[in-house]
Structure 1
Amino acid sequence: MQETPFCLRVGHLLPYSMLDSNITNFTKTSTFILLGIPGLEAAHVWISIPFCTMYAIAILGNFTILFIVKREPSLHGPMYYFLCMLAITDLVLSTSILPKMLAIFWFNSREIDFSACLTQMYFIHCFSAMESGIFVAMAFDRYVAICDPLRHSITLTNPVVAKIGLAVVLRGIMLILPYPLLARRWPYCRTSIIPHSYCEHIALVKLACTDIRISSYYSLSVAFFVIGLDVVFITMSYTQILRAIFSLPTKDARLKALGTCSSHLCVILAFYIPTLFSSLLHRFGHNVPLHLHILIANMYLLVPPMLNPIIYGMRTKQICNRLLWLVTRKGT
């Protein structure tokens, strides 16, 4: 019996008959096939239940944050403007992957146009970079509020907040733009099958039958520049914040200051830890089963958008009180 060949180094065997018809030279209008979660196809419907639940919570929670901040004039400040930016980013991130993923899980709709695949890839990485930038802006806001509270309203005026937000958006747009531009240039002549549940950058360009070191090195540089530098800036901010907090004269003052930062720290950890773990696993976890890798890659895009409004809703007194007031008023 002829041995089944490895057609792609993706961590599992794909039968030759499955790929034979797909091994061709694709044009820019090619259709690609998303496998979903390879090896767990029989459980796709069951996997969709928690994913769909997380998406529903993310949509409801983030729209609630936006609604409360818009309706409550006392929340029209820098911290809540950045929180609204975070909510919008989370809505775009989760919506970029969930509808197509659920179509794969529920209807076996695996095909995706090459242009649509590049668009999805761009939105995922672009808004992930924006979210990281928003965390830096929020850390700076907390730094000024705690370390120099008398100058907070002077330093972070509405025009300054708008400029910071614009810089975060432009940075994400410009840094990630080469991803689809480079990916569109490569010839794809190996297979049309993407062993993933969404169009992840490296998973797509690995299908090219040419040297993709430019794409690989650029994506690694962007990851270092965005995640690496942002983590450094956040760490520096919170080092100064903690010094200022522990130098406060009373225990109550220290606890109050820590309380204002705890929700932000929880959100930061919920975003950066899975992101870092998924990135390291993607590049160095060659012995990790593919389905585990794909599950982790999905979770780091779905869990933060679900957790962020929950954490801020529970830990931010103004938002929690306003939400309770709205609920009790409608109940009477």
Structure 2
Amino acid sequence: MSDSNTTDFTNPSTFILLGIPGLEAAHVWISIPFCAMYIIAILGNFTILFIVKREPSLHEPMYYFLCMLAIGDLVLSTSILPKTLSIFWFNSREIDFSACLTQMYFIHCFLAMESGIIVAMALDRYVAICDPLRHSTILTNPVVAKIGLAMVLRGGMLALPYPFLARRWPYCRTNVIPHSYCEHIAVVKLACTDIRISSYYGLSVAFLVMGLDVFFIAVSYIQILMAIFSLPTKDARLKTFGTCISHLCVILASYIPALFSFLTHRFGHNVPLYFHILIANAYLLVPPMLNPIIYGVRTKQIRDRLLCFCVSTAKANPLRS
């Protein structure tokens, strides 16, 4: 391993992930909140999927999109955290070159897919509030399935150039990645060639895709707010706006950490490296943890079904003295 940092090579068989440089002594302590967030994300998102599948009354577009978001959250958090925890707990820093590129692909694929699903959820809220009589005819099950497939294809196609470009660069300096996972820029910075194509592509996706998604969400909610404020009574306005609260919280939980990470990475040159890496982990772990909590707490239908299931389970398996 000592020679792998200096020996010339063009196709490294493995990379070495350092975890969080500068906080190596605290890796075990940092792993505690990371592991807790992952467990909450796994349990919460599987609970959402279970409840929606089990309850026929929840077989509606909003809950189908929520299930797509839950699947994306599960894949996204699972794509990084097991390896990160193996670094923290077992000092298992090596990752195969192909596995590193695969991890990179899944991260960018599901980030783009989840952003698209959040746009689809905004569309669902727009139709439900601005044209409620046609909601069931506009967002039919085949339409919802096509939207979901389009988001998956969009994410898959947009993420494909990341590992493709990273694979073609020659790596002749070092194979040590100062990160806890195979983040795109952290990997391609190791290449001993001009990587402007990779850098420009990453910026283009961030600005065009995420920017357009935020724009469409903003347009949808402007129309939604106009429709809400046109309602005759305050109670009607509050009740209608209440149906959007969960989705608005998911939007904030998804985009604010990602935007903060992007801004600190691009412009926070005086920010310590460990802070960059902590934020980069947070924007991949916090939304998967918060999304099921937000919908579980704020959505009455899911909350009621979960309580009914817990009660029925308790009655079916009473404690015996």
Fold conserved between structures, TM > 0.5: yes
Aligned with 1:99 (options 82, 91, 103): 82
Partner of 2:268: 285
TM-aligned CA deviation for residue 216 of structure 1:
0.4
TM-aligned CA deviation for residue 25 of structure 1:
2.9
CA distance in 2, matches of 1:137, 1:158: 13
Which deviates more from structure 2 when the two are superposed, residues 287-296 or residues 26-35? 26-35
TM-aligned CA deviation for residue 24 of structure 1:
2.8
- Say if 2:40 and 2:289, in contact at 8 Å, map to a contact too: yes
The total of aligned residue pairs comes to: 315
CA distance in 1, matches of 2:309, 2:280: 36
- Say if 2:171 and 2:190, in contact at 8 Å, map to a contact too: yes
Amino acid at match of 2:7: T
| TM-score, structure 2 normalization | 0.96
Say yes or no: does 1:162 pair with 2:145: yes
1:126-137 alignment, distance < 5 Å? 126-137=109-120
Q: CA RMSD in A?
A: 1.1
TM-aligned CA deviation for residue 127 of structure 1:
0.3
Sequence identity (%)? 83
TM-aligned CA deviation for residue 21 of structure 1:
4.7
Partner of 2:297: 314
> Gaps (5+ residues) in structure 1?
1-17
Amino acid at match of 1:283: R
> Gaps (5+ residues) in structure 2?
316-321
CA distance in 2, matches of 1:202, 1:38: 16
- Say if 2:249 and 2:294, in contact at 8 Å, map to a contact too: yes
- Say if 1:25 and 1:187, in contact at 8 Å, map to a contact too: no
Amino acid at match of 1:310: I
- Say if 1:89 and 1:131, in contact at 8 Å, map to a contact too: yes
Say yes or no: does 1:323 pair with 2:321: no
TM-aligned CA deviation for residue 132 of structure 1:
0.3
SS at match of 1:33: strand
Cα deviation code 1:116-156 (max 9, x no counterpart): 00000100111000000000000000000000000100100
Say yes or no: does 1:110 pair with 2:93: yes
Partner of 2:176: 193
Amino acid at match of 2:236: A
User: Hey, which bits of structure 1, 4+ residues long, moved more than 3 A?
Assistant: 18-21
CA distance in 1, matches of 2:259, 2:2: 32
Aligned with 1:294 (options 259, 274, 277): 277
Partner of 1:44: 27
| TM-score, structure 1 normalization | 0.93
Partner of 1:264: 247
TM-aligned CA deviation for residue 315 of structure 1:
0.5
- Say if 1:55 and 1:302, in contact at 8 Å, map to a contact too: yes
Partner of 2:234: 251
